[in-house]
Structure 1
């Protein structure tokens, strides 16, 4: 930092304590509610929580709110020893695979402090609300609201974070690499400006070019047809500065939890899934728009692939704004209980209807956007990134809808899988984080569901508990593939789970 942005030094130092508390709060939530095998029992006292570990030790801290987004945990005590840093606590716990996880959490804390330092610097220079969707995206400073790895970016130096991370507001130059068309799989339409005769020009993130592709000769001139673009919340997806389709690039490193490459399966299914989603959205009477996948390409390796996607702002009318839900937390709109209830009613009515028809959206705050009227009212939804939805042939058939010609991980009739996909992302994710606490979330959820037509899927939302991915358990279980889950107490129930 001293070499590349020395002016940030004092702001970074000032941000470090808050970043440590934010990450420790996220870790404490995981320890309080996830089914971690080395926690034998949880004891709840007035304003406190004690975890009895399998080896007899005691871990003590404040009562945990599973839906809170403020950093309320400043320290916890392990057998009388105080810990204020999440990574040091993980090391002291000495659990299997804890060393690697502690390193990720350390990186997350440092990156979060850097993000907050940059945000503080910008706040002094610019106080206005964003004009564009990509500017709204770049206002998300803290990353995932509930994951200790909220800002984990292993392999990124300080200079690279400042140069590529959306919250630092850079313009990133995407190189394009030239690959023979016969060496590629292309689905959908691939535009002429990304072709060169019988060769395909594949946009490549500069971090990927330097650290993964490493300038191999087969990739041609890295500057040919380069694209200047604004990084979005996902970091590896960018909005070209000149306008046009968003570009999703392969980034073969683990951001938060997942490695962000692009699988051949995603490219193979892109056009079919996009066409299917468009036909489905037409049944929602204009309340849901799904951004189209315009083209996808892979050079038969997940390290060199790209997807072109319709920008969400094409669905905004005059005076309207399209805002990612994750960017709304902490705004004046989200502080209004009436607005929260109105937004929750819109989101639940639409997404439950889609689920009933046969599709579970992964509607977390990054994938789900809301179209706001000039005075801030939530009007309709925009959903993007179809790579991880779930499609139920049985439900589609029940409604007389055509089943897309798909196989593989996107297709399931398992009701638990379908509900977890939606409830974990939308209810316990986007809606909870927008509300910011159990009390506010419970009020918004109850108000939203009151009066909505009941479906087979809405009853669990009224009763609880709510499923969420057990994100810390997953990072501490590298040998177990796929998602693992935790149950959180219903925000309106006032009960506890996992005691």
Structure 2
């Protein structure tokens, strides 16, 4: 733990760097056009304004410069936000005052997190460190760390990136207004409810956000306050999903805050189809080494169905091989102390083991059970053995799962390719190559995919492009967060021959 806060100038510079990279990734993927190189940097043309922009690096572009009066001029995050907003207005013909504010909020949140982390003690547990390391976050979102624009003091005590841990608020919910489905027995073990009431844990930030709406329920006795749990819960990368190590229990809550593309409520329509979706995913993982962390049930109040909903998710211990440590895939990309990706003695063997654990279960769920996993970096855990080699994949989040034929096979496959390949494998491969520059990850990826007898695989391996989600344009145009839109990206898997 650091006793002295970092200098403000250092925090500002690092916050800018963390915020600039994903914003540039969005701009370069969704709007800009490649325009050669200059001074060892990639140059892009912004078609709406005809500006030229150059950046340093590829996976995490940095140090943006704009061509002005014949010279290259560096732009900081604030000016980059203005440049992006102007370009999007020209590109789409639409104005948006909300998203630029979110971009600034995201950068300022990073600055607050950097300052807080300097005073915080990281968890000893490697799994928790992997969940709480995401200072940059989603590498292709314009405002990955925005927290709804609220004051820092309102959200910082609950921020995983600041290594937060805190007890849950316990409420008593009068039995006649309880709504629940599935197995919620774990909630009753969190404390003791008075006669005529059931226990309902709550996220303290959510209570702060919707407290006024609940005043009448507290006044008339439908809700009573019962204190807090005698143990702490740790916020995971998902922020509203908390892990209680003492109980080996995950709990997912509603948060009336926009985080990346969506207001993070447990929406009624998602909860009502949860049992069917989770049952299908559970069946898809009934055999084989991979595990599904079941969203086994939910409990809420009939008068505040979404506001007070809590979802019960399986813990980790019953699913892991002996001696294995689960790690968040997104944490492997971002980096944390003790990451086996950075320390792999044989990166080729590590990558082959990773592919062998992650790819087969995701493809089998699709091909054999019609289950389209949202197998992106934040929904995938990879357990590593004592030598750091991937030994098992664990998938989570029934809310993001799609089922065939609720969606067409073509739409389901496109979603799976985006989540598993573009969002996940491409990012893991890129991070691995940064640590081990001589590795070419794509022959092994092709070999792993070729082992699976799906009719879509040959086209995946030969297509010139892959689907890339357009988070910047989606947010600028105000589209629903679930209404994914894709642009073609160069296919790293294609054009490499048929390796054996």
* Corresponding residue SS for 1:340: helix
Q: Any unmatched runs of 5+ in structure 1?
A: 394-410
Aligned to 1:360: 372
Q: Does residue 99 of structure 1 match 2:97?
A: yes
2:419 counterpart (425, 428, 431): 425
Aligned to 1:458: 457
TM score, norm. by length of structure 2: 0.82
Q: Distance in 1 between matches of 2:471 and 2:10?
A: 28
Question: Deviation digits for residues 168-195 of structure 1, max 9, x if unmatched?
Answer: 1222232133333443421112223465
Moved more, 447-456 or 193-202: 193-202
Deviation, 1:209, is 0.8
* Corresponding residue SS for 2:273: helix
Q: Distance in 2 between matches of 1:119 and 1:461?
A: 42
CA contact (8 A) 2:157 2:164 kept: yes
2:446 counterpart (449, 464, 467): 449
Question: Deviation digits for residues 186-219 of structure 1, max 9, x if unmatched?
Answer: 1112223465544333222111111223351414
1:58 counterpart (43, 46, 51): 51
Deviation, 1:221, is 3.1
Aligned to 2:66: 77
Question: Deviation digits for residues 228-281 of structure 1, max 9, x if unmatched?
Answer: 311111111111253232111110110122111001122222233223222221
* Corresponding residue SS for 2:6: helix
1:257 counterpart (261, 271, 274): 261
CA contact (8 A) 1:20 1:86 kept: yes
TM score, norm. by length of structure 1: 0.82
Aligned to 1:396: none
* Corresponding residue SS for 1:349: helix
CA contact (8 A) 2:340 2:389 kept: no
Deviation, 1:309, is 0.6
RMSD: 3.1
Q: Does residue 333 of structure 1 match 2:341?
A: yes
Q: Distance in 1 between matches of 2:130 and 2:46?
A: 43
Deviation, 1:63, is 7.3
Aligned to 2:163: 169
Question: Deviation digits for residues 149-178 of structure 1, max 9, x if unmatched?
Answer: 121112443233431101212222321333
CA contact (8 A) 1:313 1:321 kept: no
CA contact (8 A) 1:20 1:84 kept: no
Q: Does residue 14 of structure 1 match 2:10?
A: yes
Aligned in 2, Cα 1:414/1:157: closer, same or farther, shift over 3 Å?
same
CA contact (8 A) 2:158 2:166 kept: yes
Aligned to 2:153: 159
Q: Distance in 2 between matches of 1:147 and 1:12?
A: 26
Q: Distance in 2 between matches of 1:385 and 1:332?
A: 25
Equivalenced residues, count: 458
1:351 counterpart (341, 356, 362): 362
CA contact (8 A) 2:165 2:232 kept: yes
Q: Does residue 388 of structure 1 match 2:400?
A: yes
Q: Distance in 1 between matches of 2:340 and 2:285?
A: 30
Deviation, 1:349, is 2.1
Task: Write the mapping of 1:475-486 to structure 2, written as runs, cut at 5 A.
Answer: 475-479=475-479, 482-486=483-487
Aligned in 2, Cα 1:255/1:454: closer, same or farther, shift over 3 Å?
same
CA contact (8 A) 2:446 2:493 kept: no
Aligned to 1:474: 474
CA contact (8 A) 2:160 2:235 kept: yes
Aligned to 2:204: 206
CA contact (8 A) 2:238 2:378 kept: yes
Deviation, 1:10, is 2.8
1:303 counterpart (291, 303, 307): 307
